[in-house]
Structure 1
Amino acid sequence: MKTVLYTIALIISFIVGFTSCEMKKELTGGIKPVDPDEVPSDPKVAGVLDLKLNLQPESDTPETKAKADVAATVDINDFGVQIIDSTGTVVKTFDSYREYQETKELLLRKGKYTIRASWGELYEAAFDAPYFIGDTLCEIEPGVVSTIKTNCMLQNAKVNVEYNDDFLKVFKDDYSVVVTNGAGVLTLDKEEQRVAYFRSDENINLIISSTTHKGLDIVSKHKIEKAAPNALYNIILGIDVSVDSVIDQLVKPGITVDITMHTRDTVINIEAPTLPPDPDDGTDEPGGAISITGNGLDSPLEMTDAEATAGSVPVKVTIKASAGLKNVVVKIVAPALEAILGPENPFDLLNLTPTMTGILDGVGLVRPKEGDTEYTLDVTSMMKMLGGAGTYKFEVNVTDKAGNSLPKTLTIIIK
């Protein structure tokens, strides 16, 4: 009987040992350290970390899968790994999970640790910039191998914009959607094929600008509350009236916004309420209406140096004055251009000197005429002249023939 009980006790001990952590090398004089120059540590005070990484799949739709999304090519073996102790000190870093796997054993002293694996960099807003991270808390026990599994998940929110057939029939090809979370901004237009990523847990505002084939300008604003991480917001734009009523008559359509949030496990139709106009956008009453709208006004417009040089990111604002334009004064805050312009900066687009006329003609800047009720200030061609990485401003002050004035600042950040 004693023999049977002893055998059962041995079996139970064997099972318990393998269901938690594997005892290693307690009889060999110590655990082999990662660094060959270190002295093997006493298994009574140190243990080994066995790390397993798992990349959780993204949420996608057929529309986004058709785009060249960087996230689809991410390899878990390229994730960087950090081991952080209970004081917040990084005690070990691996440039990649691949490098970690090439290490025979990762020796850690007894204690609590955070295992962090990450890929990419977190931006407020950027194209083709997914950011993955996974944090796992663990405790290292002396003389054992602790197997830890860390799940890595996309931390950004993805935004994809599509247009239904009615929208495309009614509006010209110059439509655009400015998407911002308040700190970063991206402009999505007809030609944009990159995937837009935004920092999650922030409100995302949509500013849709379009012009009908009859010349009616439409601006519609909407908001997504608290965008979730690892979620795709698929936005389909349409119109709220029939196509014929817009084409055959001068009917001003409203823009409908149909948003579906795709997460890993669910698909949810969400409501993005229409936002009221900004207080300084003016009204349509004669003599009192000045409005300046466009990207880079409410929050900076960001682009890379390559995009600035190529002029691939539209930089333009629309100015409306129902009483007619009298002055459009522009001051450029950019050292390189300030040096070129000298005393010509600031300048009034409606009252230019011959020197300034020649400079603006040279960059192809279209200018307004006195009395115009609408004008688009397009400075895209000037981005390559700003001087590379930095923050630049175009301070615009508009005065109409009724004496009303409105200042706005267009801010550009080149990275």
Structure 2
Amino acid sequence: MKFTHILTLSTAAMLFLASCEMKNELTGSLTDKADTGALELGVSVKQPVSQTRADVSDIDTNTFPITVKGTSTGVDTIVRNYNTLAEMPASITVPVGTYSVSSHTPGTLEKKMTQPYYAGDTEVTVTKDITSSVNVVCRMANSRIQLNYGDDFKKAFSEWTITIDDGSEMALSYTQKDLEPEAVYWYFGDNVTAIKVNITAKTTAGNTVTQSQTFRKADASENYEEIGDNFTGGDALQINMGTVESATGTVTGITINTHITFEDESESVEIPTIGDDDKDEPEEPTPSESVSISEPEGNSYLIDGVDLALGTTDYPEKKVVVNMKAKDGIQNVLVKVKTTNGTFEFAAGLMGLTSENGLDLASDKAKDLSDLFTLPEVGDTQYSFTLNEKLLGLLMNTPGYEGIHDFTLTVIDQKGNQKSAVLTIRVNK
């Protein structure tokens, strides 16, 4: 045979062998074709039962990337990555062994997102000459958090900062700049059992109020055996901010109502909040301990009210005195009047007693009323609000002042703690 023919045949043989080797490399086969099986892969999404929480209607799983990774000896080096489910073949051939198949929403799971993020994985064993069908079920990896402000809260406070903290390196933050915040999809990670809500708010009167509340998943009013104590993907949280008001509408505190809807449930349940019990920090006195309103022993005007007879000088037998204490010093003493008498309301309005928060007796605006009220000083720890004879005389001897007059008294200390009481004065004909 001529040398050129031999060279040609040798070259052809080498190309044939190289082609076989390249084919094996492309298919990832580490063994003979006789030791392979096939995989048919699909992806589905398990949405929370309450569809309104997902904020998505049609999820296109054809856009989800897929990874097939060998996990057993002999195939542990095999990895198949497909950019999307739509791009991968109807079936793939791989050596027999055990594989992990995973898929997820396109992109990276981040701590804070505007949409749900779905992810899932499953394990499959490939058997010789068998085609195995695999469906990767993706569930929500993050949780939906919705903060809501009640109308009473928005009316009572002019500015605020609220943080929702799960103890990680990042916390959610809210201010008055967005009164209707969108839902946030939050990734809790592992082992988050408690969430703390911190509030610093300024009332429309300019007083600062701080509060810290904690809620735990384990404290939910109804729980289920299969649900653990950790916050996990698929949970939906609603945190509602409101106020505590006295009978006359004076704001005396902040309420935080929290509800959770579990992934496989349609009804939300309440999670009660508790005060901050972080033992590493010094405990602050509660408002009831640091601020108080009371009467001298033997008086019960705050309960029974004060009855005056119009056109007489029959003053009450006992002095009308309301005592206030503020351990950390008085910042404000507010007096607001609500009355059934239009004439008296007009007169009280001229003194600033009918405005939204009333008159602050500890401010310069009250200096002209020092002959009617004993005025407190900022920083005082005690103060007595007294109806002196001059004020009683005005009420009892001014024609047209008959009616029911509610004086709402609010003392606020220099840490924002406050206490309110209502003194009712009835002027009868």
Evaluate the alpha carbon distance shift between residue 207 and residue 90 of structure 1 in structure 2; reply closer, same or farther with a 3 A threshold. Answer: farther
Evaluate the alpha carbon distance shift between residue 261 and residue 274 of structure 1 in structure 2; reply closer, same or farther with a 3 A threshold. Answer: same
Evaluate the alpha carbon distance shift between residue 148 and residue 171 of structure 1 in structure 2; reply closer, same or farther with a 3 A threshold. Answer: same
Unpaired segments of 5 or more residues in structure 1? 1-32, 66-70, 290-321, 324-371, 374-415
The TM-score with structure 1 as length reference comes to 0.51
Q: 1:55-104 deviations in whole A, cap 9, x for unaligned?
A: 12246676884xxxxx66753222221112224946223243335x4425
CA distance in 1, matches of 2:235, 2:273: 19
Evaluate the alpha carbon distance shift between residue 186 and residue 90 of structure 1 in structure 2; reply closer, same or farther with a 3 A threshold. Answer: farther
CA distance in 1, matches of 2:238, 2:285: 33
CA distance in 1, matches of 2:263, 2:216: 15
**Equivalent residue, structure 2, for 1:49:** 39
**Equivalent residue, structure 2, for 1:268:** 268
Q: C-alpha displacement at 1:51, in angstroms?
A: 0.6
Classify the secondary structure of the residue corresponding to 2:231.
coil
**Equivalent residue, structure 1, for 2:200:** 209
Tell me if 1:221 matches 2:208.
Answer: no
**Equivalent residue, structure 2, for 1:376:** none
Query: Which one of the candidate residues 138, 142, 148 is aligned to 2:128?
Result: 142
Tell me if 1:232 matches 2:236.
Answer: yes
CA distance in 2, matches of 1:188, 1:72: 28
Evaluate the alpha carbon distance shift between residue 156 and residue 167 of structure 1 in structure 2; reply closer, same or farther with a 3 A threshold. Answer: same
- AA partner of residue 223 (structure 1): F
Taking only the aligned residue pairs, the percentage that are identical comes to 15
Classify the secondary structure of the residue corresponding to 1:187.
strand
Q: C-alpha displacement at 1:179, in angstroms?
A: 1.3
**Equivalent residue, structure 2, for 1:179:** 164
Classify the secondary structure of the residue corresponding to 1:153.
strand
- AA partner of residue 244 (structure 2): D
- Whether contact under 8 Å (2:164, 2:198) holds in the other structure is yes
CA distance in 2, matches of 1:196, 1:36: 40
**Equivalent residue, structure 1, for 2:353:** none
Aligned length: 250
Classify the secondary structure of the residue corresponding to 1:168.
helix
CA distance in 2, matches of 1:76, 1:90: 27
Q: C-alpha displacement at 1:109, in angstroms?
A: 0.9
- Whether contact under 8 Å (1:83, 1:90) holds in the other structure is no
The TM-score with structure 2 as length reference comes to 0.49
**Counterpart mapping for 1:332-411 below 5 A:** none
Evaluate the alpha carbon distance shift between residue 143 and residue 61 of structure 1 in structure 2; reply closer, same or farther with a 3 A threshold. Answer: closer
- AA partner of residue 235 (structure 1): I
Evaluate the alpha carbon distance shift between residue 133 and residue 142 of structure 1 in structure 2; reply closer, same or farther with a 3 A threshold. Answer: same
Q: C-alpha displacement at 1:50, in angstroms?
A: 0.3
- AA partner of residue 212 (structure 2): S
CA distance in 2, matches of 1:40, 1:63: 47
- AA partner of residue 107 (structure 1): T
Tell me if 1:256 matches 2:260.
Answer: no
Evaluate the alpha carbon distance shift between residue 39 and residue 255 of structure 1 in structure 2; reply closer, same or farther with a 3 A threshold. Answer: closer
> Whose Rg is larger?
2
**Equivalent residue, structure 2, for 1:114:** 100
Query: Which one of the candidate residues 92, 103, 116 is aligned to 2:79?
Result: 92
Classify the secondary structure of the residue corresponding to 1:44.
helix
Evaluate the alpha carbon distance shift between residue 46 and residue 171 of structure 1 in structure 2; reply closer, same or farther with a 3 A threshold. Answer: same
- AA partner of residue 231 (structure 1): D
Unpaired segments of 5 or more residues in structure 2? 1-22, 218-229, 291-327, 330-377, 380-429
**Equivalent residue, structure 2, for 1:159:** 145
**Counterpart mapping for 1:2-21 below 5 A:** none
- Whether contact under 8 Å (1:55, 1:76) holds in the other structure is yes
